[in-house]
């Protein structure tokens, strides 16, 4: 991808070029708000779909729904698209929308500081400084790999890498490999590694619930029909959307409703594993849905293979060439894959954002808990919009639906700002507090709180600042218009400070 030089000033600065940043750019352009710039630390669009190239990477939400509503794609190869298909879709969508001339790649945002007097964000990037009236972040809720804190791991002499930073230069054929973690990434990686390595050790701390994956390839006539009958694609999308939405009561209200899913998962274990002792060790001890429900037909058979060992004794340390478990057993390895997830409730980007009074977002969230208004705007941070902010995550449906809801809300907000010549918009503290009190009250009866598991959804106080505890259509309705009454507004010099001409000059 080519890179645009950094202008000194822009009206809307977008951070990140994944689904969120790209979708926002496309919608800003369509609304005539062309004075924007997207800064991306990677070399291409795609976000998580650019970064997660591990063997077996695929989306566990069907692509007909896990795609932009405004950019339907008749070319999906199968119902659950593999990562290369999704990455190609995002590249094609970006090219087709004609927005890439305002994307700056290989550029990291280092600091974003709100200048109260100038009513501007002053942003320092690895390619220079830039001023912006609005900052819109789409930097992803699962973008910063979290490495496990294990004694001696830094002394490991073999190859070691995180699932989201796969090292394709390492030839795994015939090697002794260990995978730490049994989450969504690991269960896709393990069956692929099992086919090529000499021996694989899978280190499980908590057994996940894994239901069968009903995947199928689209036939040629079906693809043809999808291409020529747009209504058919909308029908598929709608059917998947409403099917997924039926999971919500089980997650948020009556976990007992998930009994059929539990039965399916237990059946998946029986079908995939012959050894009764191994079956017992992979059977979870918490309610289904408490952690993300995983889907795979290949994971259990892979664990049951002769060249794979599931290790459930806790890891004590890593040495130069082995992992040692608490029972004293030392297992030699050549390659260590850490599939241990991401920073979620302690997002690194929060340390780089400074709002009113010189307080960083990390300081505000450390004191008050990670919270926002409608998952998008934050008191103390005027003209700052976060796509996939607090309490916007889903355990059951497409994040693209949430992203599009937020994009529409932000767009309405910045249009309000321009039309009414507001220099600054900031959600009122009381409104934000009320929004979050309601969310946390709803959280109390969800399976994520009551289901008896520890998960990356919960912070150290046991609060859930990650997930949305209602239906997604409620989220969309609540964000359907920018509710200016919930905001403190300021007039000032920035009201119509930049024009598209100024930026492209
Ligand atoms: P994850 O779900 O957070 O799983 C991390 C795994 O590592 C867990 O099994 C965890 O065990 C284990 N772990 C963490 N620290 C450890 C330690 N110090 N020692 C031993 N084990 C440790 O991460 P992920 O699999 O990368 O998935 C993250 C999220 O990304 C998913 O929930 C999903 O939202 C998304 N994702 C989606 C897809 C898809 O669409 N197919 C694929 C991949 C990822 P515990 O369970 O005990 O904590």
Residue of 181, 448, 464 to mutate, ligand 1, most atoms within 8 A of C-beta:
181
Confirm or reject: Cβ of 213 under 6 Å from ligand 1.
Answer: no
Task: State phi, psi for 366 to the nearest 5 degrees.
Answer: -65, -35
- Kindly give the distance from the C-alpha atom of residue 447 to the centroid of ligand 1, in angstroms, as a whole number: 18
Span 49-78, average pLDDT: 95
Confirm or reject: Cβ of 180 under 6 Å from ligand 1.
Answer: yes
The 3 state secondary structure assigned to 366-413 is: HHHCCCCECCCEECCEEEEEECCCCCCECCCCCHHHHHHHHHHHHHHH
Span 181-186, average pLDDT: 98
State yes or no: pLDDT of 505 exceeds 90.
no
The CA distance from 9 to 6, in Å, is 9
The predicted model scores a pTM of 0.95
Confirm or reject: Cβ of 206 under 6 Å from ligand 1.
Answer: yes
State yes or no: pLDDT of 181 exceeds 70.
yes
Q: How far apart are the first and last CA of the chain?
A: 22
Span 261-266, average pLDDT: 97
Count of other CB atoms within 10 angstroms of residue 486: 18
Confirm or reject: Cβ of 345 under 6 Å from ligand 1.
Answer: no
Q: Give per-residue pLDDT as tens, 128-168.
A: 999 999 999 999 989 899 999 999 999 999 999 999 999 99
- Kindly give the distance from the C-alpha atom of residue 161 to the centroid of ligand 1, in angstroms, as a whole number: 15
* Residue 493 banded pLDDT, cuts 50, 70, 90: confident
State yes or no: pLDDT of 504 exceeds 60.
no
Residue of 205, 208, 315 to mutate, ligand 1, most atoms within 8 A of C-beta:
205
- Kindly give the distance from the C-alpha atom of residue 456 to the centroid of ligand 1, in angstroms, as a whole number: 8
Which numbered atom of ligand 1 lies nearest the CA of 344?
3
- 3 state SS of 136: strand
Higher confidence at residue 202 or residue 347?
A: 202
- Kindly give the distance from the C-alpha atom of residue 291 to the centroid of ligand 1, in angstroms, as a whole number: 10
- Kindly give the distance from the C-alpha atom of residue 341 to the centroid of ligand 1, in angstroms, as a whole number: 4
- 3 state SS of 128: strand
Confidence at residue 368, expressed as pLDDT on a 0 to 100 scale: 87
Q: Give per-residue pLDDT as tens, 367-419.
A: 989 999 999 999 999 999 999 999 999 989 999 999 999 999 999 999 999 99
Q: Give per-residue pLDDT as tens, 431-454.
A: 999 999 999 999 999 999 999 999
Span 417-424, average pLDDT: 95
Span 94-121, average pLDDT: 97
Q: Give per-residue pLDDT as tens, 355-367.
A: 999 999 999 999 9
Cα angle 321-300-310, degrees, rounded to a multiple of 5: 30
- Kindly give the distance from the C-alpha atom of residue 502 to the centroid of ligand 1, in angstroms, as a whole number: 45
- Kindly give the distance from the C-alpha atom of residue 320 to the centroid of ligand 1, in angstroms, as a whole number: 25
Q: Give per-residue pLDDT as tens, 4-42.
A: 678 999 999 999 999 999 999 999 999 999 999 999 999
State yes or no: pLDDT of 502 exceeds 80.
no
Confirm or reject: Cβ of 202 under 6 Å from ligand 1.
Answer: no
* Residue 347 banded pLDDT, cuts 50, 70, 90: confident
Q: Which of 26-30, 222-226, 478-482 shows the lowest per-residue confidence on average (mean pLDDT)?
A: 222-226
Work out the mean pLDDT of the chain and round it to a whole number. Answer: 95
């Amino acid at each position: 991808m080519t890179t645009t030089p950094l202008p000194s000033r822009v009206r809307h600065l977008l951070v990140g070029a994944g689904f969120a940043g790209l979708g926002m750019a496309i919608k800003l352009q369509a609304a005539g708000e062309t004075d924007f710039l997207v800064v991306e630390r990677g070399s291409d669009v795609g976000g998580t779909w650019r970064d997660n190239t591990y063997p077996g990477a695929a989306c566990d939400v069907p692509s007909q729904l896990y795609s932009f509503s405004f950019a339907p794609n008749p070319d999906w190869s199968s119902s659950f698209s593999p990562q290369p298909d999704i990455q190609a879709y995002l590249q094609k969508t970006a090219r087709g929308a004609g927005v890439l001339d305002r994307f700056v790649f290989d550029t990291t945002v280092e600091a974003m500081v709100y200048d109260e007097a100038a009513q501007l964000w002053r942003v320092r990037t690895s390619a220079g400084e830039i001023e912006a009236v609005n900052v819109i972040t789409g930097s992803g809720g699962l973008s910063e790999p979290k490495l496990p804190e294990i004694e001696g791991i830094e002394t490991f002499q073999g190859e070691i890498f995180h699932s989201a930073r796969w090292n394709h230069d390492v030839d795994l054929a015939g090697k002794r490999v260990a995978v730490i973690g049994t989450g969504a990434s690991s269960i896709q990686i393990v069956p692929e590694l099992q086919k090529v390595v000499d021996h694989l050790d899978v280190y499980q701390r908590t057994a996940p619930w894994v239901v069968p994956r009903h995947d199928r390839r689209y036939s040629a006539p079906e693809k043809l029909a999808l291409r020529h009958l747009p209504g058919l694609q909308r029908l598929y999308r709608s059917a998947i959307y409403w099917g997924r939405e039926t999971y919500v009561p089980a997650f948020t209200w009556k976990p007992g409703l998930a009994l059929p899913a539990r039965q399916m998962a237990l059946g998946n274990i029986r079908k995939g594993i012959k050894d009764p002792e191994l079956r017992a060790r992979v059977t979870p001890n918490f309610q289904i849905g408490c952690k993300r429900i995983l889907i795979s037909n290949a994971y259990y058979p892979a664990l049951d293979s002769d060249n794979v060992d599931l290790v459930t004794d806790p890891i004590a340390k890593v040495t130069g060439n082995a992992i040692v478990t608490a029972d004293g057993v030392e297992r030699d390895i050549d390659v260590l894959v850490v599939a241990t997830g991401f920073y979620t409730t302690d997002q690194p980007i929060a340390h780089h954002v400074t709002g009113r009074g010189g307080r960083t977002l990390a300081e505000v969230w450390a004191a008050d808990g990670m919270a926002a208004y409608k998952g998008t705007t934050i008191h103390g941070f005027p003209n700052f919009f976060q796509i996939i902010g607090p309490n916007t995550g889903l355990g059951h449906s497409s994040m693209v639906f949430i992203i599009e809801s937020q994009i529409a809300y932000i767009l309405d907000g910045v249009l309000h700002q321009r039309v009414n010549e507001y220099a600054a918009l900031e959600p009122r503290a009381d409104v934000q507090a009320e929004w979050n009190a309601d969310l946390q009250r709803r959280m109390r009866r969800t399976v994520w709180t009551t289901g008896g598991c520890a998960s990356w959804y919960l912070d150290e106080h046991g609060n859930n600042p990650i997930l949305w505890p209602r239906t997604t259509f409620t989220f969309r309705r609540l964000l359907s218009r920018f509710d200016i009454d919930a905001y403190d507004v300021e007039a000032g010099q920035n009201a119509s400070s930049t024009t598209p001409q100024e930026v492209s000059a």
